[in-house]
Homo-oligomer: A and B are copies of this chain.
Amino acid sequence: MKKGIYLAVLFLNGISLIAQTNNEQTFKEIYKAALTNAKCYTWLDYLSNDIGPRLSGSANAEKAVQYTKSQLETLGLDKVYLQEVMVPKWVRGEKETAYILNYKTKMNVPICALGGSVATPKNGLTAEVIEVHTIAELESLGSKIKGKIVFFNRPMDPENIETFKSYGGCVDQRYAGAMEASKYGAVGTIVRSMNLRLDDFPHTGTQSYGDIPKSDYIPTAAISTNGAELLSKTLKENPKLQFYFKQSCKQMEDVLSYNVIGEIKGSEHPEKIMIVGGHLDSWDLADGSHDDGAGVVQSMEVLKILKNIGYKPKNTIRVVLFMNEENGGRGGAKYEELAKTNHENHIFALESDSGGFSPRGFSFETDDANFNKIVSWKYLFEPYLIHSFVKGHGGSDIAPLTSKTLVKAGLKPDSQRYFDYHHASNDTFDAINKRELELGAATMASLMYLMDQNGIEKSN
């Protein structure tokens, strides 16, 4: 090797070694800051226990906007602001009641209206029940559906290791069940809760009537998994049993709300924007500590950590707390609309919306060039027990973003317990472990740091 080349190689190896050492050192500082000096757990305590459930359009959602804005203002960011967005407002009304009427025996079962559902008649609704496991099965039954309550009872598949896969394989019953059943003349639908375990919590979640006429809207509710088992068993004994349920939920006028945004201006490429976020709204049955209080406070913590370790990003880093992920996605859509209007150039978007459990990795929406580059960083994460780098969905709030060179990512926490709490009244602060929450924030901050340092490969 010629001496010049030899020296150049030595020099470049030197640079790469320094970069590697710097990365390792920065990771250490990030995890230390998260585990010894974080505020995310305290923030979540306030969001959960002092504010509470934060359904879009509610007074609590507005309180959460003001609280997170005020907390972001304490972090010494370059800018903190709100982004107006009109959101749907749906209210549950009185607590729902339901029972199985088996001959003369009434058996109460726990239900809750699905988000966006209409109410039953004032005195409730009673009808015979027909159990199905798929929408295809419903269609095959055709006219037998008429006048009945359709009971969707396909359980989440326990065989998948990733529980989100099982959710994805089931949620059509909840989302589209009422719309489809209505087409065949059903008077209501009851859906088994999206929950892998057997318990007494009904799990709400959004549903859609699609394009069917308003006059065809039928009330729809989730039943707890134990309730579903009981109903199914009793139906086998007595196919003529009747089911009663009563709910008084209501869709109101849209309400003005906000995305909450804070940013650190980039020192080299202020025009390039990297965002990290979660959603500020939650369902109304609990305080939504996992879904998505955790993602909100972790995203805030990412900026706090980067400030704390004195990191000056090359690109602009924004935390975005989206409004209305649960029943409309208006915050994410509005954010993208304004990004386009303002000709903003987003290069990276990271969302945390899978619970505050021990972080395991990330899923990426990107091309092979970027994915391979990211995977080459795995060794930096492994000492922190982060191993799983896969291609997959980033997150609902960042889904509308369409910048050309954008890489999207979602934090992947351990998913085993997520559906024990998801959209149910037990998604509360006591189900959060402080260290798991903090480790998630550190893992997110580490990826933001690497993406900021190493940029994005131009896509083809």
Contacts and interface: CB of A to CB of B under 8 A. Distances in A.
Interface stretch (A239-247, A332-340, A431-439): A431-439
Given A388-B385, A417-B436, A159 B358 contact: no
Nearest to A438: B158
**Residue of A162, A196, A416 with highest tally of chain B CB at under 10 A:** A416
B383 A161 contact: yes
A123 B197 CA distance: 49
B388 A435 contact: no
A416 B388 contact: no
Contacts of A358: 358, 414, 416
Contacts of A46: none
A158 B435 contact: yes
A271 interface: no
Interface in A393-427: 414, 416-417, 420
B439 A416 contact: yes
Interface stretch (A6-14, A30-38, A126-134, A451-459): A30-38
Nearest to A414: B358
A167 interface: no
Interface in A366-396: 382-385, 387-388
Given A197-B434, A358-B358, A387-B387, A36 B420 contact: no
The number of chain A residues touching the other chain, given as a range, is 20 to 34
Contacts of A163: 435
A360 interface: yes
A161 B420 contact: no
A36 B158 CA distance: 7
Contacts of A417: 433, 435-436
Contacts of A435: 158, 163, 196-197, 416-417
Contact of A35 (B158, B384, B387, B420): B158
A178 B7 CA distance: 62
A385 B433 contact: no
Interface in A1-58: 31-32, 35-36
Given A433-B416, A434-B197, A435-B196, A159 B383 contact: no
Contacts of A385: 161-162, 360, 387-388
Contacts of A433: 197, 416-417, 420
Contacts of A35: 158-159
**Residue of A196, A387, A435 with highest tally of chain B CB at under 10 A:** A435
B436 A161 contact: no
Contacts of A434: 197
A32 to B, nearest CB: 6
Contacts of A414: 358, 414
A414 B417 CA distance: 13
A384 B162 CA distance: 9
6 contacts: A196-B435, A358-B414, A358-B416, A385-B388, A417-B433, A417-B435
Given A161-B384, A416-B435, 17 more contacts: A31-B159, A32-B159, A35-B159, A36-B159, A161-B383, A161-B385, A196-B435, A197-B434, A197-B435, A358-B358, A358-B416, A385-B387, A385-B388, A416-B433, A416-B436, A417-B433, A417-B435
The 10 closest A-B pairs by CB, nearest first: A387-B387, A35-B158, A416-B435, A416-B436, A358-B414, A417-B433, A358-B416, A161-B384, A35-B159, A36-B158
